[in-house]
Amino acid sequence: MPYDSRTPKPIRRFLQVDGWQECPPGLCEHDRRVYSVHPDEDGEVTMAGIVAEPRNTDFPVRVQIHDGSDKAQVLRLLGKIARWLERDYDELMDPPDDPLPF
């Protein structure tokens, strides 16, 4: 079936994980019931939360890397995210205070 951009996309539930070089002011004090924010000993931050987005695909993973990002930092953050998922996957995918109704 050909793709039609006018066809409404279903709303799907995702775990979104973000990584930064350092914690922006005020973010690390954010409501941890909604987001799990993890500054580490290097000053880098990973944050995860459940989001809902319209999407046709059911790919299990999508990685988006900001154009111009430092390759070494991206690889370091991806490694930290992979270890976090290995350790806490079930809790991250189904947080106790999930804000989404589905």
pLDDT greater at residue 6 or residue 44 = 44
What's the pLDDT tens digit per position in 28-76?
665 554 456 667 888 888 888 888 889 888 889 999 999 999 999 999 9
Rounded-to-integer distance, Cα 72 and Cα 17, Å: 18
- Widest distance between CA atoms in the chain: 50
Rounded-to-integer distance, Cα 58 and Cα 81, Å: 21
Domain borders along the chain are: 11-56+67-93
Strands (E), the chain: 11-20, 36-39, 45-54
Mean pLDDT computed over every residue of the chain: 82
What's the pLDDT tens digit per position in 75-97?
999 999 999 999 999 999 987 66
Q: What angle do CA 88, 63, 82 make, to 5 degrees?
A: 30
